């Protein structure tokens, strides 16, 4: 049973990996916006480090974990587009009459997205180093930054697939996802420390999954990492990802009952 599940998961993952491997340029094309933000914000706000209370003297080093998380967030928003296309083309209906494990329809796409997030995060890190970012923290902090972004991206991707199965329209799915994710991004500490934000934004940050991922990565990058903050926020992101995957699976079962 487990072997069949793993085989089906690999098959569905490889189905989504093949287009990415055939056109690797799409890996970069899908992250144009985060690259522009990295270059733009790192120059536009570089003087904010002079504000008393700012936690570092390098804004680009401060910004990078937020940009990595934002990249995973926005790529995850559009994950459901492929699901809508499969629905409209009857692909999922054909798979439903096959012996493939149903949950692998979702897991395959999410695993492919996780691989994409890792590659894109490494590209962003290399680019940031090229334009002046310096990191004094441990090297494994890089992996923690990427892990936090991947978990958030998987969570948002799962929600996107769930909304795709419910709405069955790309426009509706994207609108709903952006309505949720845009406020979460700007209410996080991705661009500015929480200590410099209004009090009500700090309160929102305690319940903001985007902020959890940013704090996980940013604290892991520091020389004297606050591991309590890393573990606590990392655990929150992990639980959030699990819940989102379960909700997406439930949406798939609801779709299956409707056909």
Q: What is the 3-state secondary structure (H, E, C) of 103-165?
A: CHHHHHHHHHHHHHHHHHHHHHHHHHHHCCCCCCCCCHHHHHHHHHHHHHHHHHHHHHHHHHH
CB 73 within 8 A of CB 212: no
Please state, in angstroms and rounded to a whole number, the distance separating the CA atoms of residues 215 and 73. Answer: 15
Please state, in angstroms and rounded to a whole number, the distance separating the CA atoms of residues 148 and 197. Answer: 23
Interval 47-65: pLDDT, tens = 877 777 677 777 888 889 9
Mean pLDDT of all residues belonging to the chain: 87
Nearest residue to 125 via CA among 59, 67, 75:
67
Please state, in angstroms and rounded to a whole number, the distance separating the CA atoms of residues 133 and 148. Answer: 20
Q: Global pTM?
A: 0.91
The SS3 assignment for 49 reads helix
Please state, in angstroms and rounded to a whole number, the distance separating the CA atoms of residues 40 and 49. Answer: 16
* Lookup: tokens for 205: 């940050």
Q: Which residues of 83-98 are buried (b: 16+ CB within 10 A; e: fewer)?
A: bbebbeeeebeebeee
Summarize the confidence of residues 174-201 as an average pLDDT. 87
Summarize the confidence of residues 152-180 as an average pLDDT. 93
User: How much is the pLDDT for 53?
Assistant: 67
Interval 204-238: pLDDT, tens = 888 999 999 999 988 888 777 788 889 999 999 99
User: How much is the pLDDT for 193?
Assistant: 84
Please state, in angstroms and rounded to a whole number, the distance separating the CA atoms of residues 205 and 199. Answer: 10
Interval 83-131: pLDDT, tens = 999 888 888 888 777 777 778 888 999 999 999 999 999 999 999 888 8
Please state, in angstroms and rounded to a whole number, the distance separating the CA atoms of residues 15 and 98. Answer: 15
User: How much is the pLDDT for 67?
Assistant: 93
Share of the chain above pLDDT 90, in %: 37
User: How much is the pLDDT for 1?
Assistant: 66
Confidence of residue 201 (pLDDT cuts 50, 70, 90): confident
Confidence of residue 259 (pLDDT cuts 50, 70, 90): low
């Amino acid at each position: 049973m487990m072997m069949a599940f793993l085989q089906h998961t690999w098959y569905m993952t490889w189905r989504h990996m093949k287009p990415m491997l055939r056109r690797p340029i799409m890996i970069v094309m899908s992250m144009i916006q985060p690259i522009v933000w990295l270059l733009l914000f790192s120059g536009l706000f570089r003087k904010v480090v002079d504000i008393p209370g700012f936690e570092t003297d390098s804004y680009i080093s401060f910004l990078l974990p937020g940009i990595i998380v934002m990249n995973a967030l926005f790529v995850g928003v559009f994950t459901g587009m492929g699901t809508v296309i499969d629905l409209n083309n009857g692909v999922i209906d054909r798979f439903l009459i096959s012996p493939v494990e149903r949950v692998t329809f979702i897991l395959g796409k999410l695993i492919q997205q996780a691989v994409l997030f890792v590659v894109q995060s490494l590209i962003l890190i290399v680019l940031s180093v090229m334009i002046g970012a310096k990191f004094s923290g441990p090297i494994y902090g890089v992996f923690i930054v990427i892990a936090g972004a991947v978990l958030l991206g998987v969570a948002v991707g799962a929600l996107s697939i769930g909304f795709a199965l419910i709405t069955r329209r790309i426009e509706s799915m994207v609108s709903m996802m952006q309505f949720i994710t845009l406020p979460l991004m700007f209410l996080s500490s991705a661009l500015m420390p929480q200590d410099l934000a209004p009090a009500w934004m700090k309160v929102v940050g305690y319940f903001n999954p985007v902020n959890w991922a940013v704090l996980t990565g940013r604290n892991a990058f520091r020389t004297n990492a606050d591991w309590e903050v890393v573990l606590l926020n990392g655990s929150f992101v992990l639980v959030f990802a699990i819940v989102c995957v379960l909700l997406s699976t439930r949406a798939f079962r609801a779709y299956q009952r409707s056909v």
